[in-house]
Structure 1
């Protein structure tokens, strides 16, 4: 049996694509182990998959002054030593990394142990952790055509991002019941503002609700603590702090999605062929990766983009009516994308580098 060690952590975006790959790896006879941080969010997510999990020391490399910058390099060195020992014990044929700082010592250790490593970069420009790990990798997968120019020639492969296959099997009827939309025969808009929600998106959506509800039913995932009790019984408006298993059914029911522009989220929209409006996190609140992601999807004809600074009641209304009027154009553009078979493409790369070991 072939063995693979997967790594990545720090955020859900560094873990969920790994989880999406796992069923295909198992079907192809791979024994999977996972290396993450001692107590990062990845630990619970991976253990829920009944995958053996190994924690190592992990430090973060920051671009700004912080006293931890003096101690964290020693944590990384410790993690590197632990990763070397683990890889010698586990003897995998290949390492697959989704990024995050815990992955850096694992990929470097793989090179030390002469084990091929494949890295996946979600965003349009590589993050710092992946930039540190790329020289030790055999292949680097990416989501965007524009990313290829930032990666070493011969290593870069445009794959798209693995998405959870259960997202493709949602049931509209279940979402209608869950949201209380029985007897309401109108198209549905799904608003997803991220796990903590977005105050600016929530405010813009709620300001135009009366007009929207004449034409649409609205599912609003507004983030923890952001429910508006005054709108609780408004017909056609279903608000939730977040959704778990129900999200699959909500996607199936939706005709238009309003979303942030995190790489994994927009790749899910692409795979589902959902016409969408992207409102990327502003550069003031991030390294600007969501803005670049959104611009790429706009250029490929997949998305309509409103920059957060330009978001108003009027620009949101205009965007909704524009996208809905031309939804078939967006759907057709997404159907032509060559990034749809990401799991098969990545699996082929894993087999390829395993054979070369």
Structure 2
């Protein structure tokens, strides 16, 4: 029996590609294991998949700001590296697949020390810090945007496109409306700030509810611990995060207001959902979401509202403009040449495992 280990975590975006791939390997008879953190969202998400062994290792976060944890975390990373090395040595996988995030770094180095081939997936136009550290240790790198390979120039890259979870395309709009208590006669906006939340987006949406709900119903994914229990209104439904029912919620949604994480926006593209993207600022991130959003805006798939310009008025205007022009966005999405990269990534992993 061939064995594969997956890693990646810290946010849902570092897990969803793995969740798209894992069922394919289980169907083909592979033994599947996952190395993640003890308390990250990856543990919560992977626990929903039967027959996948989950192993937790110590992790440290790669911060871009001053924090006392920056002194402690290198020791956690060293501990995590030892744990990952021992796990890989014990389980002897044929190949390891990394989606990135800070938890992946000790696993990547542990794979290299055990001489286990490793494939990395980079969703964003430019690699994140964890993947930049990891790429020298990798056998190959799958890229979502074609421009990424020209930036790296190391001969390891292969442009495969976006990996889309098959279940995302199997949503039932009626089940989504039943979940939220929505009616068929009024259009629906999905507001999605990310699994870790987006406070300014949440605040702006809530301040604009009286105006937006005149025309729309809103399903609001607020992020962990950011649901406001005092807001119980007709046509407005809050969740911290949705996993299994997300395809149904997507199916019923007419337009999407979202951050600009690569995995999410490519799933919206595959479903032909017009987007108003509010990317993380450079102060909050390395600027990757800004580049993702600008790439989609250039292709005519979305509008972009920068967080520095986010107010109740700009949000309401952006939503109304997007909805009024939704058919033009859908038409441009219909001409997109994006295809699901899952078969290409699965094939490359098999190719590496046979060497």
Which is worse superposed, 14-23 or 218-227?
218-227
Query: Quick one: distance in 2 between partners of 1:318 and 1:67?
Result: 42
* Aligned residue in 2 for 1:5: 5
Across the two proteins, how many residue pairs are aligned to each other? 352
Is 1:193 paired with 2:193? Answer: yes
8 Å contact from structure 1 (residues 124, 144) kept in 2:
yes
Deviation (angstroms), 1:134: 0.1
Query: Quick one: distance in 1 between partners of 2:30 and 2:346?
Result: 11
Deviation (angstroms), 1:255: 1.0
Query: What CA RMSD, in Å, does the superposition of the two structures yield over aligned residues?
Result: 2.6
Deviation (angstroms), 1:63: 4.3
* Aligned residue in 1 for 2:238: 240
Query: Quick one: distance in 2 between partners of 1:180 and 1:214?
Result: 16
Deviation (angstroms), 1:210: 4.8
8 Å contact from structure 1 (residues 227, 241) kept in 2:
no
Is 1:320 paired with 2:326? Answer: no
Structure 1 gap segments, 5+ residues each: none
Secondary structure of the equivalent of 2:90? Answer: helix
Superposition pairs of residues 214-253 of structure 1, within 5 angstroms: 214-223=214-223, 224-227=225-228, 229=230, 232-234=232-234, 237-244=235-242, 245-253=244-252
Deviation (angstroms), 1:273: 1.6
Note the alpha carbon deviations across 1:69-96, whole angstroms, 9 max, x for none: 4554344334333333322322211110
Query: Quick one: distance in 2 between partners of 1:66 and 1:209?
Result: 36
8 Å contact from structure 1 (residues 134, 140) kept in 2:
yes
Secondary structure of the equivalent of 1:22? Answer: helix
8 Å contact from structure 1 (residues 189, 257) kept in 2:
yes
The alignment's TM-score, normalised by the length of structure 2, stands at: 0.88
The alignment's TM-score, normalised by the length of structure 1, stands at: 0.87
Deviation (angstroms), 1:117: 0.7
8 Å contact from structure 1 (residues 302, 334) kept in 2:
yes
* Aligned residue in 2 for 1:155: 156
Structure 2 gap segments, 5+ residues each: none
* Aligned residue in 2 for 1:99: 100
Query: Quick one: distance in 1 between partners of 2:199 and 2:109?
Result: 40
Query: Quick one: distance in 1 between partners of 2:233 and 2:43?
Result: 39
